[in-house]
Chain A
Amino acid sequence: MRIVVDLNRCQGYGQCVFLAPGVFELQGEEALMYDPGPDRSQRVPVLRAAAACPVQAIRVEHGHSLPPTQPSPGPGEEGRGGRGRR
């Protein structure tokens, strides 16, 4: 699957690192290194990370959504404030 992180929005909260440790990694305190093309086996962890990101910085290819039993992804990427988009 394909993902991209808006690193202008990212403030290093690290929720993604806890939820999808195979995909997201913090180098130091704020430098987020991530795999932009994670394996499909990482799908649910990645979607959870995208949903949990406090600044909604993780964009996932359209067509992917968490199964109904999972927590809802919340407002879409346009739904919350981000830098330059208040």
Chain B
Amino acid sequence: MSIRTGRDEAFRTSGRVVIVGASLAGLHAAETLRREGFRGRLTLVGDEPDEPYDRPPLSKQVLAGRCPPESTALPHACALDAEWRLGTPAIGLDRAGRRVRLAGGEEIPFDRLLIATGTRARPWPNPAEAALAGVVALRGRDDTRRLRQELAAGPRRVLVIGAGFTGSEVASVGRELGLPVTVAERAASPLAGALGGAIGAVAARLQREHGVDLRCGVTVTSLEGDARGHVRRAYLDDGSALDADVAVVALGTLRNTEWLRDSGLGAGPRGVACDAGCRVFDMYGIVTDDVFAAGDVARSPHPLFGFEFLALEHWSNAVEQAEVAAHNLLSAESERRPYLHVPTFWSFQFGVGIESAGVPALGEDVVVVQGSTDDRRFVALYGHQGRTVAAVTFDQSKWLDFYLEQIETAAPFPPRYRTVDQPAQRRVVPADFPDPAVPSHGPMVIRTGHSPTERAWTLVPARG
């Protein structure tokens, strides 16, 4: 039990907290602040006009037309009593003056700041082609509305560029709607960045069984429009061309850190660097006192994975990290908690539930320990230097909690224990992740190295 100082108590009663980013992480941070007794002024800033909504359904039941995009507003676990600045992105941070600058010119003062600006879809690199009607990068509600309209118009063919989780889920919905779908992926298989080529091969069979025209090892080089400015054809680097009326750009994400460019914080294309307690580093690697980060945009050292800085684009990461960041923002130093969450994620595609715990991309080898890849029902474990670092399940999520414990306790790899539904032979094979130096379509767990800030510092001599 520690003693709260008068300063802490005054902050809890009448302090000012600004949360920049009004999506899943921002909402959970706000809820945590209120639940833990923060009674001061709370402001949430968001670039989208909507209050926080859930994104995973957008590429699944919403795109399939089972429910409208508006239905995905997130439930509030408690009354937030917050001031909202929606539809007005933050464009700058004045750390000395403790103010966030908004696009409309407004400046919002704060005592403590939480950065949860997340990511956006990586756009198609050619702006003129990206502006063609029918070319959609899926991230928000508006993108889903547009893509839904395009799919409802009965396109001759849907081209999905990039077979990460988003691209694969869109392809799945396209087939569910009975549309011809082509998927073009630069790696040798779908989901290669997230699950590696060995398990990616299972995903490839799944796609082809469901009638997807899957083309791996190819790059889409250009998109061509018709006289009305609507996409009609795509050209691939294998020399082929493809007629398609919809092109879904699923090339991963970019981190929304541009607004912090002149803030002096350790923020760049790889995210906002923070310590294990979500406190943000400045550009010299010095930890700040009153600036915290959470969610997709944050990257922090993970004790379970060699203290490597990881950026995790997972739903569970946004929830859990926001709770730790908000708790620490509110707490005296002695009451702060480290962020020790083991990454987990799920994806539904082609009627199969894919779930994962740990960081598959750290694994060099993979072994199926339950079930069989032929049946699309199995558990695969990933190993790194004799340790189990991740588990991936296809329609076997009930076992994941057990394997999560194995990962948390650094259990040996390959495992020595017996399992239910064990294959006759456990074959350890290379996990076959693509070379990290080659651009990929977004592995969702981004290994960002050991340096707290990638921006090399320069000494600027004082003038006069």
Contact = CB atoms under 8 A, between A and B. Distances in A.
Interface of A: 1-4, 6-8, 10-12, 27-37, 59-62, 77, 83-84
11 contacts: A2-B74, A4-B74, A12-B398, A28-B351, A28-B352, A30-B395, A31-B348, A33-B60, A35-B61, A62-B77, A84-B320
A2 B73 CA distance: 7
Interface in B383-423: 395, 397-398, 400-401, 404
A14 B258 CA distance: 43
Interface string B290-333: 00000000000000000000000001100110000000000000
B60 A59 contact: no
Interface residues of B, number: 41
Contacts of B67: 35-37
Interface in B352-405: 352-353, 355, 357, 395, 397-398, 400-401, 404
Given A30-B397, A33-B66, A59 B77 contact: yes
Given A27-B351, A83-B357, A7 B56 contact: yes
Interface string B164-194: 0000000000000000000000000000000
B351 A35 contact: no
A32 B355 CA distance: 13
Interface string B61-81: 100101110111111111100
B353 A28 contact: yes
Contacts, number: 96
A8 B320 CA distance: 12
B54 interface: yes
A51 B407 CA distance: 30
Contacts of B401: 83
B57 interface: yes
Nearest to A7: B346
Find the residue from A3, A28, A31, A34 having the highest chain B CB count within 10 A.
A31
Which residue, A2, A8, A28, has most C-beta atoms of chain B within 10 A?
A: A8
B78 A8 contact: no
Contact of A84 (B68, B342, B346): B342
B230 interface: no
A39 B76 CA distance: 17
A62 B75 contact: yes
B345 interface: yes
A1 B71 CA distance: 9
B207 interface: no
Contacts of A2: 73-76
B316 A83 contact: yes
Contacts of A83: 316, 344, 357, 400-401, 404
A84 B316 contact: yes
B72 A36 contact: yes
Contacts of B320: 84
State the 6 A-B residue pairs at the shortest beta-carbon distance, nearest first: A37-B71, A30-B353, A28-B351, A31-B348, A61-B75, A2-B75
Nearest to B66: A33
A27 B348 CA distance: 9
Contact of B395 (A1, A3, A28, A37): A28
A4 B56 CA distance: 10
Contacts of B319: 6
A62 B344 CA distance: 26
Contacts of A33: 60-61, 64, 66, 348
Contact of A8 (B64, B68, B344): B344
Nearest to B377: A29
A56 to B, nearest CB: 13
Contacts of B351: 27-28, 31
B334 to A, nearest CB: 23
Contact of A12 (B54, B315, B397): B397
Nearest to A31: B348
Contacts of A31: 348-349, 351-353
Contacts of A6: 315-316, 319
A14 B72 CA distance: 21
Contact of A4 (B75, B398, B404): B75
B352 A62 contact: no
B122 interface: no
Most buried by B among A27, A30, A32: A30
B171 to A, nearest CB: 15
Contact of B404 (A11, A29, A34, A84): A84
A75 B57 CA distance: 27
B101 interface: no
Contacts of A84: 316, 320, 341-342, 344, 404
A8 B75 CA distance: 17
A31 B394 CA distance: 10
Nearest to B344: A8
A33 B345 CA distance: 16
Given A28-B352, A84-B404, 13 more contacts: A1-B75, A2-B73, A7-B56, A7-B315, A8-B355, A28-B395, A31-B348, A33-B60, A36-B57, A36-B73, A37-B72, A77-B77, A83-B344
